Amino acid sequence: MKIAELLGYGDKKNYKPMYQQIDDLDKKTVGGKWGKGWFEKIGQQLAAWRA
């Protein structure tokens, strides 16, 4: 994501939810837990960028 951001893909407002998802994933996977549903949310956000 940082490379895409540096290359100018999307707006800064597009990245905020993505970074929030990563933070949430970090919290969900503490101690070997699963971050279920994360890939679906990220996929939806990326699909919205192409629209």
What one-character-per-residue DSSP string does 31-46 give?
GG---TTHHHHHHHHH
pLDDT tens digit string along 1-51? 788 888 888 788 888 888 888 888 888 788 776 766 767 777 787 788 776
Cβ atoms of 29 and 21 closer than 8 Å: no
pLDDT at 35: 63
pTM above 0.75, yes or no: no
What confidence score (pLDDT) does residue 38 get? 67
**Do 27 and 51 form a contact (C-beta atoms < 8 A)?**
no
